[in-house]
Chain A
């Protein structure tokens, strides 16, 4: 399957600082990437859809100014948590769609390994 990388895998920061998380599609181009947040023992919650060359689409309740998303190229999207606070501590995971052919059109979302953010 397609490979999506995410960096860093873990980050610990002080309250008030900003943290940038990178998501890369390594062997395919992704015009759209997705950013999710997951709390312990819970499901993934979509935060925003990142579109290459245009503004991200945020889900209801997600602060645009808090979670800045940039999708500068077909293989890279970044999520910046600005002025992080302890309540922003969570597992952040990105994904990108890869298309397979062979007679049936299929988009499969492949996920990065995730980033564990701890804000002290």
Chain B
């Protein structure tokens, strides 16, 4: 069963507009972490934002915010004021369980290719 689902293979947004990239996940564990990474054409994976399952507030990092809806098991990434440099592939990932001292692997979604239009 797919644990991380990104239903938007491609998205377009006008420069300076906001865009939401969808991510839903499936887990039965109450402890987990959710991540978003950006992968430009150069291939490097750039960490953007993290949300822990027990975090009370939605995570924010500059122009990135995570719309975390635990009951719906969704963790959508919101990019505000899009810039041309935001054009890239975006991956949602989950790590479970979230336990101290345990280095756990990430499970990635299929990704969303975002194109920012001038």
Q: Which residues on A are within 8 Å of B, measured CB to CB?
A: 1, 31-32, 34, 38, 42-44, 46, 49, 91, 93, 95, 97, 104-114, 116
Residues of B within 8 A of A1 (CB): 47
CA distance A31 to B101 in the complex (A): 10
For A115, the closest partner residue in chain B by CB is B43
Q: Is the interface of B mostly helix, strand, loop or mixed?
A: loop
For A48, the closest partner residue in chain B by CB is B105
A107 is contacted by which of B37, B91, B103, B108 (Cβ under 8 Å)?
B103
A104 to chain B, nearest CB (A): 7
Q: Which residues on B are within 8 Å of A, measured CB to CB?
A: 33, 35, 37, 42-47, 50, 52, 55, 91, 95, 100, 103-106, 108-111
CA distance A106 to B91 in the complex (A): 19
CA distance A34 to B100 in the complex (A): 18
Pairs of residues from A and B, 5 with the lowest C-beta to C-beta distance, nearest first:
A111-B45, A32-B103, A114-B43, A113-B44, A43-B108
